[in-house]
Amino acid sequence: MEEKGISQAVIGRLPRYFRYLGELKDEGVERVSSQELSGLMHVTASQIRQDFNNFGGFGQQGYGYNVEFLYEEIGKILGLNKTHHLIIIGAGNLGQALGNYMNFERRGFILKGMFDKNPALYGKKVREIEVQPMEKVEEFVRENDIDIAVLTIPKSSAVGVAEVLVANGIKAFWNFAHVDLNVPEGIQVENVHLSDSLMKLSYNLERYNQEQEKG
Protein backbone atom coordinates (compact mmCIF):
# COMPACT_ATOMS: atom_id res chain seq x y z
CA MET A 1 0.00 0.00 0.00
CA GLU A 2 1.48 3.37 -1.08
CA GLU A 3 1.60 5.83 1.77
CA LYS A 4 4.29 8.27 0.68
CA GLY A 5 3.55 11.98 0.77
CA ILE A 6 0.27 11.68 2.65
CA SER A 7 -0.58 15.07 4.13
CA GLN A 8 -0.69 15.54 7.88
CA ALA A 9 -4.29 16.73 7.41
CA VAL A 10 -5.26 13.29 6.10
CA ILE A 11 -3.27 11.54 8.85
CA GLY A 12 -5.01 13.79 11.36
CA ARG A 13 -8.42 12.53 10.17
CA LEU A 14 -7.53 8.82 10.33
CA PRO A 15 -8.03 8.38 14.11
CA ARG A 16 -11.56 9.70 13.74
CA TYR A 17 -12.32 7.27 10.91
CA PHE A 18 -10.80 4.53 13.04
CA ARG A 19 -13.05 5.39 16.01
CA TYR A 20 -16.25 5.47 13.95
CA LEU A 21 -15.38 2.23 12.15
CA GLY A 22 -14.61 0.60 15.50
CA GLU A 23 -18.09 1.56 16.72
CA LEU A 24 -19.72 0.19 13.54
CA LYS A 25 -17.71 -3.02 13.90
CA ASP A 26 -18.84 -3.38 17.54
CA GLU A 27 -22.44 -2.95 16.38
CA GLY A 28 -21.95 -5.81 13.91
CA VAL A 29 -22.15 -3.62 10.79
CA GLU A 30 -20.32 -5.33 7.91
CA ARG A 31 -20.47 -2.77 5.10
CA VAL A 32 -20.67 0.98 4.98
CA SER A 33 -20.84 3.36 2.03
CA SER A 34 -19.00 6.68 1.90
CA GLN A 35 -22.47 8.31 2.00
CA GLU A 36 -23.36 6.53 5.23
CA LEU A 37 -20.01 7.37 6.80
CA SER A 38 -20.49 10.95 5.66
CA GLY A 39 -23.85 11.13 7.44
CA LEU A 40 -22.37 9.74 10.63
CA MET A 41 -19.21 11.81 10.68
CA HIS A 42 -20.35 15.10 9.13
CA VAL A 43 -17.55 14.93 6.57
CA THR A 44 -18.45 15.02 2.88
CA ALA A 45 -18.54 11.67 1.07
CA SER A 46 -16.08 13.02 -1.50
CA GLN A 47 -13.65 13.96 1.28
CA ILE A 48 -13.89 10.42 2.63
CA ARG A 49 -13.28 8.91 -0.82
CA GLN A 50 -10.34 11.26 -1.42
CA ASP A 51 -8.83 10.41 1.96
CA PHE A 52 -9.14 6.67 1.38
CA ASN A 53 -7.76 7.00 -2.17
CA ASN A 54 -4.46 8.05 -0.59
CA PHE A 55 -4.14 4.48 0.58
CA GLY A 56 -5.38 2.74 -2.52
CA GLY A 57 -9.11 3.19 -2.03
CA PHE A 58 -10.07 0.34 0.30
CA GLY A 59 -13.41 -0.21 -1.40
CA GLN A 60 -15.22 -1.55 -4.38
CA GLN A 61 -17.24 0.95 -6.41
CA GLY A 62 -20.93 0.80 -5.56
CA TYR A 63 -20.38 -1.89 -2.97
CA GLY A 64 -19.27 0.17 0.00
CA TYR A 65 -16.42 -0.53 2.35
CA ASN A 66 -15.92 -3.68 4.35
CA VAL A 67 -15.98 -2.26 7.88
CA GLU A 68 -13.70 -4.79 9.51
CA PHE A 69 -11.12 -4.66 6.70
CA LEU A 70 -11.10 -0.86 6.68
CA TYR A 71 -10.81 -0.75 10.47
CA GLU A 72 -7.85 -3.16 10.40
CA GLU A 73 -6.11 -1.33 7.54
CA ILE A 74 -6.45 2.12 9.10
CA GLY A 75 -5.27 0.61 12.38
CA LYS A 76 -2.16 -0.70 10.60
CA ILE A 77 -1.48 2.68 8.99
CA LEU A 78 -1.72 4.25 12.44
CA GLY A 79 0.64 1.60 13.82
CA LEU A 80 -2.05 0.29 16.17
CA ASN A 81 -1.45 -3.33 15.23
CA LYS A 82 1.70 -3.13 17.38
CA THR A 83 2.02 -2.77 21.11
CA HIS A 84 3.67 0.34 22.50
CA HIS A 85 5.16 0.62 25.96
CA LEU A 86 4.67 3.96 27.69
CA ILE A 87 6.00 5.71 30.74
CA ILE A 88 4.56 8.84 32.29
CA ILE A 89 7.00 11.44 33.58
CA GLY A 90 5.31 13.68 36.16
CA ALA A 91 2.73 11.98 38.37
CA GLY A 92 0.82 15.15 39.25
CA ASN A 93 -2.79 15.96 38.34
CA LEU A 94 -2.47 15.41 34.62
CA GLY A 95 -0.08 12.44 34.83
CA GLN A 96 -2.36 10.61 37.24
CA ALA A 97 -5.46 11.39 35.18
CA LEU A 98 -3.82 9.92 32.07
CA GLY A 99 -2.49 6.95 34.05
CA ASN A 100 -5.96 6.22 35.37
CA TYR A 101 -7.49 6.27 31.91
CA MET A 102 -7.39 2.63 30.89
CA ASN A 103 -8.86 3.03 27.43
CA PHE A 104 -5.51 3.64 25.71
CA GLU A 105 -4.59 0.03 26.44
CA ARG A 106 -7.36 -1.17 24.13
CA ARG A 107 -5.38 0.50 21.33
CA GLY A 108 -2.12 -1.20 22.32
CA PHE A 109 -0.62 1.58 24.44
CA ILE A 110 0.52 -0.17 27.59
CA LEU A 111 1.51 1.93 30.58
CA LYS A 112 4.61 0.37 32.14
CA GLY A 113 5.86 2.95 34.60
CA MET A 114 5.32 6.35 36.22
CA PHE A 115 8.08 8.61 37.49
CA ASP A 116 8.27 11.80 39.50
CA LYS A 117 10.87 13.79 41.38
CA ASN A 118 8.67 14.42 44.42
CA PRO A 119 9.45 11.86 47.18
CA ALA A 120 5.92 12.31 48.58
CA LEU A 121 4.62 10.49 45.50
CA TYR A 122 7.02 7.54 45.51
CA GLY A 123 5.15 4.28 45.93
CA LYS A 124 1.76 5.87 45.23
CA LYS A 125 -0.27 3.51 43.06
CA VAL A 126 -2.04 4.66 39.93
CA ARG A 127 -4.00 1.58 38.96
CA GLU A 128 -1.34 -1.14 39.38
CA ILE A 129 1.60 1.14 38.62
CA GLU A 130 3.74 2.54 41.45
CA VAL A 131 5.27 5.98 41.05
CA GLN A 132 9.07 5.65 41.07
CA PRO A 133 11.83 8.21 41.61
CA MET A 134 13.38 9.82 38.55
CA GLU A 135 16.75 8.30 39.48
CA LYS A 136 15.35 4.97 38.27
CA VAL A 137 14.03 6.10 34.92
CA GLU A 138 17.12 5.56 32.76
CA GLU A 139 17.62 1.94 33.75
CA PHE A 140 13.86 1.30 33.53
CA VAL A 141 13.66 2.63 29.96
CA ARG A 142 16.64 0.55 28.87
CA GLU A 143 15.40 -2.66 30.46
CA ASN A 144 11.68 -2.53 29.67
CA ASP A 145 11.60 -1.80 25.96
CA ILE A 146 9.88 1.54 26.46
CA ASP A 147 9.27 3.47 23.24
CA ILE A 148 6.97 6.35 24.23
CA ALA A 149 7.32 8.86 27.07
CA VAL A 150 4.38 11.00 28.16
CA LEU A 151 5.64 14.30 29.56
CA THR A 152 3.36 15.85 32.16
CA ILE A 153 5.99 17.95 33.89
CA PRO A 154 6.53 21.72 33.91
CA LYS A 155 8.13 23.24 30.84
CA SER A 156 11.22 24.26 32.80
CA SER A 157 12.41 20.65 33.04
CA ALA A 158 10.85 19.02 29.97
CA VAL A 159 13.70 19.72 27.51
CA GLY A 160 16.40 18.32 29.83
CA VAL A 161 14.33 15.26 30.77
CA ALA A 162 13.61 14.55 27.09
CA GLU A 163 17.35 14.57 26.30
CA VAL A 164 18.07 12.00 29.00
CA LEU A 165 15.21 9.79 27.80
CA VAL A 166 16.35 9.91 24.17
CA ALA A 167 19.86 8.93 25.26
CA ASN A 168 18.33 5.83 26.85
CA GLY A 169 16.22 4.77 23.89
CA ILE A 170 12.89 6.65 23.94
CA LYS A 171 11.66 7.05 20.35
CA ALA A 172 8.58 9.23 20.78
CA PHE A 173 7.09 11.83 23.11
CA TRP A 174 3.50 12.67 23.88
CA ASN A 175 4.33 16.10 25.14
CA PHE A 176 1.93 18.01 27.37
CA ALA A 177 4.58 20.45 28.65
CA HIS A 178 4.16 23.86 27.05
CA VAL A 179 7.57 23.89 25.40
CA ASP A 180 9.09 22.68 22.13
CA LEU A 181 11.39 19.74 22.78
CA ASN A 182 14.82 19.88 21.24
CA VAL A 183 15.14 16.29 20.05
CA PRO A 184 17.27 14.73 17.30
CA GLU A 185 15.80 13.93 13.90
CA GLY A 186 13.90 10.68 13.89
CA ILE A 187 12.45 11.17 17.35
CA GLN A 188 8.71 11.75 17.04
CA VAL A 189 6.92 14.40 19.09
CA GLU A 190 3.20 14.98 19.37
CA ASN A 191 2.50 18.17 21.30
CA VAL A 192 -0.86 18.34 23.03
CA HIS A 193 -2.23 21.68 24.15
CA LEU A 194 -5.76 21.43 25.47
CA SER A 195 -5.90 25.21 25.60
CA ASP A 196 -5.45 25.37 21.78
CA SER A 197 -8.60 23.33 21.43
CA LEU A 198 -10.40 25.61 23.89
CA MET A 199 -9.27 28.70 21.96
CA LYS A 200 -10.63 27.17 18.75
CA LEU A 201 -13.93 26.62 20.54
CA SER A 202 -13.91 30.22 21.70
CA TYR A 203 -13.26 31.41 18.13
CA ASN A 204 -16.18 29.39 16.76
CA LEU A 205 -18.48 30.59 19.53
CA GLU A 206 -17.47 34.17 18.84
CA ARG A 207 -17.99 33.79 15.09
CA TYR A 208 -21.42 32.20 15.59
CA ASN A 209 -22.51 34.97 17.97
CA GLN A 210 -21.41 37.65 15.51
CA GLU A 211 -23.33 35.99 12.67
CA GLN A 212 -26.45 35.79 14.86
CA GLU A 213 -26.17 39.48 15.71
CA LYS A 214 -25.90 40.37 12.01
CA GLY A 215 -29.07 38.35 11.45
Output 32 or 91, the one with its CB closest to ligand NAI: 91
Looking only at the bridges linking them, the beta strands covering 188-191 and 172-175 are parallel
189 within 8 A of 173, measured Cβ to Cβ? yes
**What x/- string results for residues 129 through 148 when contact with ligand NAI is judged by CB under 6 A?**
-----x--------------
> Is 112 an interacting residue with respect to ligand NAI (CB under 6 A)?
no
> Where does residue 56 fall: left (phi above 0), alpha (psi -120 to 50 degrees), or beta otherwise?
left
Distance, in Å, from the CA atom of 50 to the CA atom of 42, rounded to the nearest integer, reads 15
Nearer to ligand NAI, 74 or 131 (CB): 131
Site for ligand NAI in 28-67 (CB under 6 A): none
What is the distance of C-alpha 212 from the center of its chain? 36
Out of 106, 194, 212, 214, which residue is the one contacting ligand NAI (CB under 6 A)? 194
Query: Whole-angstrom Cα distance, residue 135 to residue 142?
Result: 13
Q: Which is nearer to ligand NAI, 9 or 120 (CB)?
A: 120
How many residues bind ligand NAI (CB under 6 A)? The answer is 26
Site membership for ligand NAI, residue 91 (CB under 6 A): yes
Instruction: Report if residue 165 touches ligand NAI, rule: CB under 6 A.
Output: no
For the chain, list the strands marked E by DSSP.
Answer: 31-32, 65-66, 84-89, 109-116, 125-126, 129-133, 148-151, 172-175, 188-191
Applying CB under 6 A, among 193, 206, 207, 209 the residue interacting with ligand NAI is: 193
Binding of ligand NAI by 102 (CB under 6 A):
no
Q: Enumerate binding residues for ligand NAI (CB under 6 A).
A: 89-95, 115-118, 121, 134, 152-155, 157, 161, 176-178, 192-195
